[in-house]
Structure 1
Amino acid sequence: MKAFRRIKMKKLALTVMAVLGMMSSVAMADIDYGLEVGIRQQSGEVDSNLASVKSQMGFQFGATAHFPISGAWHMRTGLLYTQRPVIVETDATGDENKISMNYLDVPVALMYKFEEYAGVFAGVSLGLNLDSDAEVGKVNDVKSPLTPIIFGASFKFAPQLGATLYYETASGDAADGLKNYRAVGANLQITFD
């Protein structure tokens, strides 16, 4: 188990170093980069007719960057800590089990900027599971990497302040008995361009 955790941490460290290296190697280019922090409403489904899933509020924070490709087209990427919690409720008894799965997300999306201060994006996010927890029992077979599809819009309302609104969907298993995770979220941006 310790060896597995060491391998997982090495993969995490290599991913962080690769993203930071990519961001610093083009730091002199005409890119927008900044910090984001926000909330997200997470939901999903369960593989049982005897239980259902209640959505939960989670948080997301980290760094993002928009790299120019050609004209109005940009690549949007970054490194984000993302919480993906849900509550599984047993229909017959009403018992609830809060499940929390936390990921390090590396989004890779194609972004079209209408103006320098506004654009829309679509792509995928590579989510590496950092940890998982359940109030009752254990979360088994957590899928990592999780690769949700993301759609969103990003805009500035002040020279260095903006917001990102997004929808995320991950079809298929997220963990044993949990599937089809979806989220909507809003992040506040502080940009350094």
Structure 2
Amino acid sequence: MKKLALSFLVVSGLFSSVAFADLTYGLEVGVRSQSGDTDASGVSTDSQTAMQFGMFGILPISGPWNVRTGLLYTQRPLVLKSGGSDGKVEMNYVDIPLNIMYKFEDYAGVYLGVNLAINMDKKCSLNNCNVTDVTSPLIPLTVGASFKFAPNFGLNVYFESASGKAAMAGGAELKNYRAVGANLLVTFD
């Protein structure tokens, strides 16, 4: 009970009216290039362009240090090539970023952290392909930078690496996901 009360006090302090006075929040939408590996013989993977969109918030901690979080819908597809035929594995997630951000100025900063990525659906378009046992939650490590180029518009660029796995029919696995992306930001600060 004491831990619950202490957690409530900490969260209340983070979300106090003083902290919300400097809160930056908004929407983001963009593209990402997703890649990964497979351990199946005779099967290779190719990167695939996907989308990411949702909302974000930047909450000040102290001085230039901030917490960057949000709620994002993220596509993590891969192209599989096997015996002259191509297929697409689609895995869609809801991400909750938990990043520490250092702001150089009000309009620019860098961040590092993890995403809590929860798998929403999965499918494969290759014949006799079935995706099972997808790592969820997936916890990719993310490093990125965001900056504003106009008062309410900006850009977020990032690199993401995750060691999650997805089992496929026949014992093959997809693993070692990586992505680079760029999102357009619309802020409401």
TM-score, reference length from structure 1: 0.84
Q: CA deviation at 1:51?
A: 1.1
Distance 1:186 1:175, change over 3 A: farther
Of the three residues 21, 40, 51, the one matched with 1:48 is: 40
Q: CA deviation at 1:29?
A: 2.8
Amino acid at match of 2:86: E
Once the two structures are superposed, the pairs formed by residues 64-83 of structure 1 within 5 Å of their partners are 64-83=56-75
Provide the rounded CA distance (Å) in 2 between the counterparts of 1:113 and 1:52. 40
Amino acid at match of 2:180: V
Q: Which runs of 5+ in 2 are unaligned?
A: 1-10
Q: CA RMSD in A?
A: 1.6
Report if the CA contact (8 A) 2:138-2:164 is conserved.
no
Paired positions, count: 169
Provide the rounded CA distance (Å) in 2 between the counterparts of 1:121 and 1:175. 32
Aligned to 2:107: 117
Give per-residue Cα distances to partners, 1:15-49, cap 9 Å, x unaligned. xxxxxx99xx5573311100000000000000123
Provide the rounded CA distance (Å) in 2 between the counterparts of 1:103 and 1:61. 11
Of the three residues 94, 110, 135, the one matched with 2:84 is: 94
Provide the rounded CA distance (Å) in 2 between the counterparts of 1:120 and 1:49. 40
Q: CA deviation at 1:174?
A: 4.1
Identity in percent: 54
Q: CA deviation at 1:116?
A: 0.2
Q: Which runs of 5+ in 1 are unaligned?
A: 1-20
Provide the rounded CA distance (Å) in 1 between the counterparts of 2:59 and 2:30. 22
Report if the CA contact (8 A) 1:65-1:77 is conserved.
yes
Indicate the structure (1 or 2) with the bigger Cα radius of gyration.
2
Amino acid at match of 1:129: N
Segments ≥4 residues shifted beyond 4 Å: none
Q: CA deviation at 1:172?
A: 4.0
Aligned to 2:181: 185
Provide the rounded CA distance (Å) in 2 between the counterparts of 1:159 and 1:166. 21
Amino acid at match of 2:66: H
